[in-house]
Amino acid sequence: MKLKNTLGFAIGSLIAATSFGALAQGQGAVEIEGFAKKEQFDSARNFKNNGNLFGGSVGYFLTDDVELRLGYDEVHNVRADNGRNIKGANTALDALYHFNNPGDMLRPYVSAGFSDQSIGQNESGRNRSTFANVGGGAKLYFTENFYARAGVEAQYNIDQGDTEWAPSVGIGVNFGGGSKPAAAPVPAPAEVCSDSDNDGVCDNVDKCPDTPANVTVDADGCPAVAEVVRVELDVKFDFDKSVVKPNSYGDIKNLADFMKQYPSTTTTVEGHTDSVGPDAYNQKLSERRANAVKQVLTNQYGVESSRVQSVGYGESRPVADNKTEAGRAVNRRVEAQVEAQGK
């Protein structure tokens, strides 16, 4: 593949990727990058100068931190001692482990893998070598989707026994990771049926069926509804923290006591954040907050784990103005509620 075709494909992919609206950087995300390397050839190569390598790569995140990357580049501006041009290409398969969390602005990484290099002089054949690669670097995310990368690789030539170095820089796009949780459905308002002829059954059967004679009815002839009792929980968190504060334990215990009083009840613990920071990071933070409250309910106050679900909504459901500090403090919360029919 010619260099201009390789770069054209990479640039086209970068442009196309901007049309994807899914959350980036998490498990299932794809990264497409164009890069340049400066390979420091071993002296055994008998080259007059080091090589400029240009190419592209495609990576897939197997987990939030582990990426499998396939790369291709071509060698330029290298001359042998006899003055002939050196041309060649590299194909590499590497695994990258990223530090920090998806959505963080800076994500350092380490890498390891293998590459195949075919390189040689005009009119004198080609040399093909297999390399074992190890490296490291960092990615700087300007937005959720666009980043710049700088790193360095050590390349051990398995066939010849020498080691070469290749510092590199690149720019890329990240798209297609896990989607945000769907908003909870809003329940439809309850229908109320009436008993206009006072015969003890509902008249508007289109809305609800006739009430049997042996069932207690209300003034409208509909089944009497038992009193509903409810307890609500609202736990606040410090900025960028997911640790439950001591002054919230009493409220969590009240919820636990209520659930023990009504053993058939269940609840969903919902985590939220303010709008400071990348959306992907806030999503993970909200999940950690919800899970922290769940752990207090189950581990400390004895509510069965199967009765408590936890979910994070990131910054998507503010209840106050995120433009003010007071509003952001209100939005850094975990909410839960439990309803039961009164005894």
228-341, CATH topology level: 60s Ribosomal Protein L30; Chain: A; (3.30.1330)
Q: What is the pLDDT of residue 175?
A: 85
Q: What is the pLDDT of residue 191?
A: 45
Does pTM surpass 0.85? no
Q: What is the pLDDT of residue 15?
A: 41
Domain ranges across the chain: 9-175, 195-225, 228-341
Instruction: Give the chain's residues under pLDDT 50.
Output: 1-23, 122, 179-184, 186-192, 204-207, 213-214
Phi, psi of 340 (to 5 degrees): -155, 155
Q: Which amino acid is at 54?
A: F
Strands of the 228-236 sheet, one edge to the other:
228-236, 333-341, 267-271, 308-312
- CA-to-CA separations, 327 to 32, 169, 245, 265, 313, in angstroms, rounded: 38, 41, 19, 32, 17
With contact defined as beta carbons under 8 Å apart, do 138 and 109 qualify?
yes
The b-or-e profile of 31-58 (16+ CB within 10 A means b, else e) is bbbbbebebebbeebebeebbebbbbbb
80-136 pLDDT, tens digit each: 777 777 788 899 999 999 998 877 889 999 999 999 988 875 455 677 889 999 999
Q: Residue 98 has which token pair? A: 């990223």
Q: What is the pLDDT of residue 314?
A: 94
Q: What is the pLDDT of residue 95?
A: 95
Q: What does the DSSP assignment read for 182-204?
A: PPPPPPPPPP----TT-SSS-S-
How many C-beta atoms lie closer than 10 Å to residue 250's C-beta? Answer: 8
Q: What is the pLDDT of residue 178?
A: 54
Report domain 9-175's class.
mainly beta
215-257 pLDDT, tens digit each: 555 555 556 555 677 788 999 999 999 999 999 999 999 999 9
With contact defined as beta carbons under 8 Å apart, do 117 and 132 qualify?
no
